[in-house]
Every structure is written in C-alpha cells, then in structure tokens.
C-alpha cells in the first residue's frame, strides 16, 4: 500500500514536472528584429516540443505553394509567423506586403523512403526570411546529425544526403546549404532581398489545416495575417505545374518557369542583364526566349543558338541549361545540382507543342 502511494506520489510529481516543462517549452514565439540572429533555431520557439517534429507554436501557420521552387528533390515544410496585431497587405501581383517582424520559416528535408514515410526523414536546414525594420534578412540554420537542433550558419555548407525515391531507387545528392549572399542570388527584387513564393496567385488554393481544409488566403485573413483581401471576388491563381487539370500546358509551364526562373529572370531581378524574362505576365515571345539568341551564356548555350526553338526542345538552350549539372552552365544557378526530371519533361512537352521555328543564323549554315 505504502509503496503504491509512493509510486502514485512520484507519478504525480512527475506529471507536475512534465506540465511545468511543457509550459516552459510552449513559450510564445520570440523574434527580435533588431537583434542578431539566435545561435539556435529552438531559441525562436517557432516549434513546440521535440523540435524536429516541426509542430508549430501558436501563431505559426503552415502554408504551401501551388507550384514550388525545385531544390534537389528536397521536401519543404513552410510556415509563416507575424507579430501580434500585424498582418500582410494583399497584393494582386507581387509577394504580399508583409509587416515588420514577419518571419517565413522554410524547412528542407528528405524522407528516408519516399514510399514509406513511417521510416522518417532527415531535416537538412531551416531558412528564415525575417522582415527587419528596413529590409528582409535571410538566416539559415543547419540541423545536426542527431536531428535535435539546428545551428546558425552564414557561410553555407555541403551535406551528402541519401534517400529512396517513390520507385525505390536509391538516390543521393551533395545538398548545398547556400551562404547568406547566395540567398540574394535568387531572393532579389529591385536590388533588395525579397521572398519569392508567397504571392496571392501561388497561395490561392486549399490547404489541409489541422482543423480542416481551407483556402489559404481565407485562412490567412481569418487569423488576421492578411488584410485588404476581399474573399467575395475571384483572385489570381497559377496553374499547378504537375496537375494537368489545373491549367493548360502553357499555363503550367509558365507557372513552373516563373517560380523556378522568374524571380531572377525578370526586369527587376539579377538575371535582367540576360534580357530573358520568365514571369507569367510575359507576353513578348522574344523576351521569354523564343528565337532569342543568348548574350553571355558562353558554354551555357550547349552548342545551341536560341533559348527556345519552337518544336525543338533538343535545340533549346533553356532545356539544355535545365538538364546539365555543370555548375558553370546549369540553371537555376543555386539550389540545383541534379536535374529535375519531371520539370524538364514539362518544359520539353511545352516547347515540342509550340509551332514554327527560328531562322537559321550565319553560324548555323
């Protein structure tokens, strides 16, 4: 009897301790836009409990993009957080206008076996885009091998990753964690660091939240993260690149090119000097590469004359640069070291379906 009481007592104490512990780990999100980045990801309290479960804390809202940027087959789990009482303003064309203090949290991971998720995953890095008072800041945390914590890393890193894909093929990649400067290689708009993904047209679809499925824009508005949004009207929406029911071949190809290339290849981005523009709005065939000769592609041409030759993906530089793994020629420059087979297949199909051709130039005859 006595021993049972003691055990009960110990259990009770343990429960109390657990509760106290839990209450300490469920502290609210901690973001100081004026301060240097924390050394550890867990210091922000974006996730509760065991960190690698990526269980969001209060106010940390998961989101997804209709068409995402390809990053060496890494899976991505995205979250957004904004300070109490603040919200992003609707923007029909560009990234929604985030308030100061907003943080986008993006976790890059690989499932050990894509056909059997119960085998777990390995998280490689967690990138934060934090809106400081004057500008966005990119901060990267690299997960330790024990998967218990992620640590601040400014100079980047290279991690060998192995996984089994859905077909059971063993795959591996030297995953490159970009350094802080490389982040801006993509995340640049008019010379300033900017998020790429969270545009209305790329958020405008249904997400399976824990409390039920809902359109992401409606959800953001509901939790107070989106203002100047009128849910009674239609909003722009990109086609889902790998879902033929979501749009025409052209729309899906442009959706893919915009998210993977258009952040840089636009008039306001670092790729502007090439004169190749791959935003969805682009309607000038030459600007989008059709029969456009490259300027400074060098060996990036792969021996071809035009960015896109209608009907002929094998002669199109665009396809060559998406397929090659040569660091000096591949596109995108950052975040891809293996070919995105499914993405390339889409672009090949799109170019094959185009009619016409390009005139032969002096050096081709």
Partner 1 sequence: MKRIALMLMVVIAFSACNNEKTTKVTTDNIEKELQTKLINAKDGDIIEIPEGRFSFTRSLSLNDVPNVTIKGAGIDKTFLSFKDQIDGAEGIRIKADGITVEGFTIEDSKGDAIKIQDSKNVVIRAINATWTEGAKETNGAYGLYPVNCENVLMENCEASYSSDAGIYIGQSRNVLMRNNLAHHNVAGIEIENCRMVEAYDNIAENNTGGFLIFDMPGLPQANGYSVKVHNNIVRDNNFKNFSPEGGMVNIIPPGTGMLVVAHNDVEIYSNTIEGYKTLGLAIVTFNFTQRPFKTENGFSPYYSKLNIYDNTFNRKGGVAGVPDITKEFGKMVNGMFPAQTQDILIDGIFNPDLEQANGNYVGDNRVCIRNNGDDIRFVNLNADGAKDLGDIKKSFDRDMEKFDCTIPSIDTEITKENLVLNKR
Would you tell me which residues interact with partner 1 (CB under 8 A)? 154-156, 158, 174, 176, 179-182, 184-185, 191, 267, 270, 272-275, 284, 286-287, 291-306, 317, 326-330, 333-334, 337, 358-365
Q: Which is nearer to partner 1, 5 or 160 (CB)?
A: 160
Among 334, 35, 36, CA closest to 156:
334
Which CB, 68 or 269, lies closer to partner 1? 269
Give 85 or 328: the residue with its C-beta nearer to partner 1: 328
Residue identified by tokens 């991690």 is 159
Residue 269 CB, shortest distance to partner 1, in Å, is 10
Please state the closest distance from residue 225 (CB atom) to partner 1, in A.
29
Least spacing, CB of residue 279 vs partner 1, in Å: 15
What is the distance between the alpha carbons of residues 9 and 6, in angstroms, rounded to a whole number? 5
Q: How far is the CB of 135 from partner 1 (least distance, A)?
A: 10
Q: How far apart are CA 154 and CA 138, in angstroms?
A: 9
Q: Could you tell me the smallest distance in angstroms from the CB atom of residue 288 to partner 1?
A: 11
Judge contact between 156 and 174, C-beta under 8 A: no
96/319 with CB nearer partner 1: 319
Nearest Cα residue to 106 out of 78, 137, 72, 143: 78
Of 161 and 286, CB closest to partner 1: 286
Contact in structure between 152 and 39 (CB atoms under 8 Å)? yes
- Considering the complex, state which of residue 5 and residue 190 has its C-beta at the smaller distance from partner 1: 190
Q: Give yes or no for a contact between 103 and 81, defined as CB atoms under 8 angstroms apart.
A: yes
Please report the beta strands in 49-169, taking only residues with DSSP state E, as ranges in sequence order. 55-56, 61-63, 75-81, 88-89, 103-111, 121-131, 136-143, 150-152, 157-164
Shortest distance in whole angstroms from residue 11 CB to partner 1: 50
Residue 108, Cβ density class (10 Å: 0-12 exposed, 13-18 middle, ≥19 buried): buried
| Helices 249-257 and 341-353, packing angle to 10 deg | 130
Kindly state the smallest distance separating residue 48's Cβ from partner 1, in Å.
31
CB of 44 to partner 1, least distance (A): 21
Q: Which is nearer to partner 1, 88 or 194 (CB)?
A: 194
Q: Which C-beta is closer to partner 1: that of 153 or that of 242?
A: 153
The rounded distance, in Å, linking the Cα atoms of 354 and 288 is: 13
* Alpha carbons 66 and 204: distance in angstroms, whole number: 8
Closest-CA residue to 234 (of 200, 282, 198) = 200
């Amino acid at each position: 009897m006595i021993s049972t009481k003691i055990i009960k007592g110990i259990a009770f104490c343990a429960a109390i301790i657990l509760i106290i512990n839990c209450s300490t780990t469920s502290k609210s999100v901690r973001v100081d836009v004026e301060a240097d980045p924390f050394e550890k990801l867990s210091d922000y309290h974006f996730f509760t409990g065991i960190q690698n479960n990526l269980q969001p804390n209060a106010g940390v809202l998961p989101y997804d993009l209709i068409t995402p940027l390809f990053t060496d087959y890494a899976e991505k789990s995205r979250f957004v957080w904004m300070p109490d009482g603040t919200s992003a303003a609707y923007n029909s064309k560009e990234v929604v206008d985030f308030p100061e203090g907003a943080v986008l949290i993006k976790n890059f991971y690989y499932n050990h076996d894509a056909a059997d998720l119960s085998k777990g995953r390995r998280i490689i890095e967690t990138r934060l885009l934090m809106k400081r008072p004057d500008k966005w800041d990119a901060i990267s945390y690299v997960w330790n091998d024990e998967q218990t914590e992620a640590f601040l890393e400014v100079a980047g890193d290279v991690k060998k990753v192995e996984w089994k894909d859905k077909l059971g093929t063993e795959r591996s990649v030297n995953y490159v964690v970009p350094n802080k400067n490389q982040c801006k290689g993509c995340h640049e708009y008019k010379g300033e660091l900017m998020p790429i993904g969270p545009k209305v047209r790329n958020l405008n679809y249904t997400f399976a939240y824990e409390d039920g499925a809902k359109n992401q824009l409606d959800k953001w508005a509901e939790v107070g993260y989106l203002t100047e949004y009128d849910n009674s009207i239609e909003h722009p929406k990109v086609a889902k690149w790998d879902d033929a029911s979501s749009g025409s071949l052209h729309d899906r190809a442009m959706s893919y090119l915009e998210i993977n290339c258009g952040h840089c290849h636009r008039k306001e981005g670092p790729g502007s000097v090439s004169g190749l523009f791959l935003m969805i709005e682009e309607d000038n065939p030459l600007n989008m590469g059709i029969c456009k000769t490259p300027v400074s592609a060098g060996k990036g041409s792969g021996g071809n004359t035009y960015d896109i030759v209608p009907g002929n993906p094998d002669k199109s530089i665009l396809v060559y640069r998406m397929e090659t793994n040569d660091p000096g020629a591949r596109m995108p420059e950052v975040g891809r070291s293996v070919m995105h087979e499914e993405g390339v297949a889409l672009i090949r199909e799109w170019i094959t379906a185009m009619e016409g051709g390009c005139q032969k130039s002096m050096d081709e005859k």
